[in-house]
Structure 1
Amino acid sequence: MKPRGSTRGQLDGGWWPASDDLAAEAPALAGSLREQVGAVSRISYHLDGWPTTRRKLTSDGRLIRLEGFHSMTRDTIVVIGADARRVTLLLVPHSTPGGVARALLRSAARPESTDSAEEILTGNGLQIPRASQARQRWEADGGSLAVR
């Protein structure tokens, strides 16, 4: 997390989950952000970034809504507290090697940073395959989609 008084940019910090199971990872995330947002009520994410997950879970006796959107910035997650305080975090893929993940987290938490998630990820040399990129590679290698 950026320290208090930092330059306000697109990101407030970063998160490197241990797995791709959002429902399993959300309670620890919510607990770690209690000082910044209070009791977490919602976690919003890009739908293409996570496998299908539950829409609600309970952590520490509180309901947390998990809300996926295609309209969100990829590679971010937004955590909203019950009093509407929010943080936007760079989402470092769980499979990212430790040294690279730590460099990404440091970049997202730099006090003067106004970089976007994409700028941080590409600036640190991380290539994240997207479904459309995978399809383009497949088609370039001779695959094709049958259109009828």
Structure 2
Amino acid sequence: MTAARDRETEARVTMKRAGAERGHVDGGWWPRSGDLAAELPALAAALESRVGPVARVTYHLDAWGTTARKVRLGDRTVRLEGFRATDPDTVTVLGTDSRRVSLLVVPREVPGGAARAALRSAADGDSVATAAEILSGNGATELR
């Protein structure tokens, strides 16, 4: 793969540094599409150092289109679990050993400057802002 192609397929994820203030989110993610199952391989690869092999992803049912309930990643199956009680601006990714991260989801339609600002804010080690506060504070209002 070329470097340009790698950049087009890698997950756009930012994370708080280890030991940072816990807050509402542990970092941010700016997906390229509304297809959670298609986005999962790159997201799982980006988070493996934090959570290990991904086992589950929880999300808000109305924030994503219809998606498969299980996705194969290599030799394992990852469960995708939608709930209405979950914050629509976040996903939670759980590893096989129960390590987890909660990520702000920047809507894919948000322009690049505002999206990158929201990602930086989500990864700010001192931030305890909610996902909605981070999005609105950076001009990345929800466009879903």
TM-score by length of 1: 0.85
Match of 1:56 among 54, 70, 73: 70
* Partner SS for 1:27: helix
* Partner SS for 1:68: strand
Is 1:100 paired with 2:127? no
Q: What is the alpha-carbon distance in structure 2 between the residues aligned to residue 129 and residue 94 of structure 1?
A: 9
Q: What is the alpha-carbon distance in structure 2 between the residues aligned to residue 60 and residue 32 of structure 1?
A: 15
Q: Where do 5+ consecutive residues of structure 1 fail to align? A: 131-148
Letter in 1 for 2:74: D
User: What is the identity percentage for the equivalent residue pairs of Structure 1 and Structure 2?
Assistant: 56
Correspondence list, 1:117-128, <5 A? 117-128=131-142
Deviation at 1:129, TM superposition (A): 4.8
Q: What is the alpha-carbon distance in structure 2 between the residues aligned to residue 31 and residue 129 of structure 1?
A: 27
Deviation at 1:122, TM superposition (A): 1.2
Match of 1:71 among 61, 65, 85: 85
Q: What is the alpha-carbon distance in structure 2 between the residues aligned to residue 127 and residue 109 of structure 1?
A: 18
Deviation at 1:19, TM superposition (A): 0.5
Deviation at 1:60, TM superposition (A): 2.1
* Partner SS for 2:31: coil
* Partner SS for 2:72: strand
Is 1:85 paired with 2:99? yes
Q: What is the alpha-carbon distance in structure 2 between the residues aligned to residue 65 and residue 123 of structure 1?
A: 32
CA contact (8 A) 2:118 2:140 kept: no
Question: What residue in structure 2 maps to residue 146 of structure 1?
Answer: none
Q: What is the alpha-carbon distance in structure 2 between the residues aligned to residue 127 and residue 117 of structure 1?
A: 11
Correspondence list, 1:1-148, <5 A? 1-129=15-143
Is the alpha carbon distance of 1:129 and 1:97 closer, same or farther for their aligned partners in structure 2, counting shifts above 3 Å?
closer
Q: What is the alpha-carbon distance in structure 2 between the residues aligned to residue 33 and residue 2 of structure 1?
A: 12
Structure with higher Rg: it is 1
Q: Where do 5+ consecutive residues of structure 2 fail to align? A: 1-14
Deviation at 1:125, TM superposition (A): 2.3
CA contact (8 A) 2:110 2:143 kept: no
Letter in 1 for 2:49: E
Deviation at 1:126, TM superposition (A): 2.7
